[in-house]
């Protein structure tokens, strides 16, 4: 059975990028996982060199693990780029931004996203995950919407031919920086404008629980565009990224919703090791049992007649 978990970076460790990540990959493989979600450098504006991309792809390939997904850059990320000499303060700069009205800055953001697409291509990963950070203000007026969407559409139109050439799709993650209804509006516009072979949905279960508790409306409306997952749990107040069954999410309803789509397993556990007071290897061992439980739940629902599955019958399979 295929199973997947996220590999993280731990920059406090010396040589985390090669020795540290290589150790994590070994422990993940030993626990029984077959796939990883690549998370190092996620969401920031670091540009990977060709040598880094080649090294990283070779390192993962040597581990025997496959890459299910890459958490890419968001194309607009502030990063601690400058540490002032006198007082050691950190200067935060956003030099790359796919949503910028300044053309040089917007194009720099596009280059950043392409950099992660190149990494995913080297991995043989079918997608990269990207945040589109809307706020509720975007939908309060025609002017605010136009200011937000004009550079976004231009940036995505520039990315589309490159993604299609590299056979890497963009998966837009469910976030919690706006209301659920406004995220549904965003996905409606995105998926109406761009084809499924270019862009789709990343379901982060913890994020969606925070803005739409107990509801999987995003799956009901856009399950046909689901291409990757960030599976994690919480108690509805903070973005805990716990292992499933350690929070309050109803995993029976989640797996039933996913089973009703054409999503290609495995699910990806995006869960933080540092939430648990246990050795890294023990964490992966426990996480693998959870991953198997969820995959079995998906399989059980898919084995049911579609009418029964869609009606929400057949409960208690967990």
* Interatomic CA distance for residues 30 and 26, integer angstroms: 6
pLDDT in tens, 250-276: 999 999 999 999 999 999 999 988 899
Which range is most confident: 3-7, 71-75, 276-280?
3-7
pTM (2 decimals)? Answer: 0.93
Structure tokens that stand for 124 in this block:
């043989």
pLDDT score at 43: 83
Residue 159 reports pLDDT greater than 60 = yes
Tens digit of each residue's pLDDT (9 = 90 or more) over 278-293: 999 999 999 999 999 9
- Provide CB contacts within 8 A for 91, sequence distance 6+: 80, 81, 82, 83, 84
pLDDT of residue 314: 45
Instruction: For the beta carbon of residue 279, count every other beta carbon within 10 angstroms.
Output: 11
Whether 315 has a pLDDT exceeding 50, the answer reads no
């Amino acid at each position: 059975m295929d199973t997947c978990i996220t590999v993280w970076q731990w920059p406090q460790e010396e040589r985390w990028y090669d020795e540290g990540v290589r150790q994590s990959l070994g422990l993940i493989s030993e626990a029984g996982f077959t796939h990883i979600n690549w998370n190092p450098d996620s969401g920031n504006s670091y540009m990977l060199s060709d040598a880094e991309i080649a090294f990283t792809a070779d390192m993962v390939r040597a581990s025997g693990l496959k890459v299910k997904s890459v958490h890419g850059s968001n194309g607009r990320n502030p990063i601690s780029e400058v540490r002032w000499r006198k007082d050691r303060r950190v200067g935060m700069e956003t030099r790359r931004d796919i949503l910028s009205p300044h053309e040089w800055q917007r194009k720099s953001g596009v280059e950043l996203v392409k950099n992660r697409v190149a990494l995913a291509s080297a991995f043989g990963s079918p997608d990269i995950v990207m945040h589109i950070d809307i706020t509720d203000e975007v939908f309060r007026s025609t002017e605010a919407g136009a200011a937000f969407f004009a550079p976004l559409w231009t940036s995505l139109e520039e990315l589309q031919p490159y993604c299609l050439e590299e056979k890497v799709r963009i998966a837009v993650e469910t976030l919690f920086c706006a209301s659920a209804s406004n995220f549904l509006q965003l996905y409606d516009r995105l998926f109406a404008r761009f084809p499924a072979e270019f862009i789709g949905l990343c379901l982060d279960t913890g994020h969606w629980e925070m803005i739409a508790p107990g509801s999987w409306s995003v799956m009901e409306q856009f399950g046909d565009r689901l291409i990757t997952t960030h599976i994690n749990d919480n108690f509805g107040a903070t973005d805990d990224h716990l292992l499933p069954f350690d929070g309050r999410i109803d995993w029976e309803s989640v797996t039933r919703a996913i089973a009703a789509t054409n999503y290609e397993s495995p699910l990806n556990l995006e869960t933080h090791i540092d939430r648990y007071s246990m050795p890294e290897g023990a964490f992966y061992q426990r996480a693998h049992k959870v991953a198997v439980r969820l995959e079995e739940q998906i399989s059980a629902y898919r084995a049911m007649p579609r009418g029964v599955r869609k009606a929400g019958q057949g409960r208690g399979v967990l």
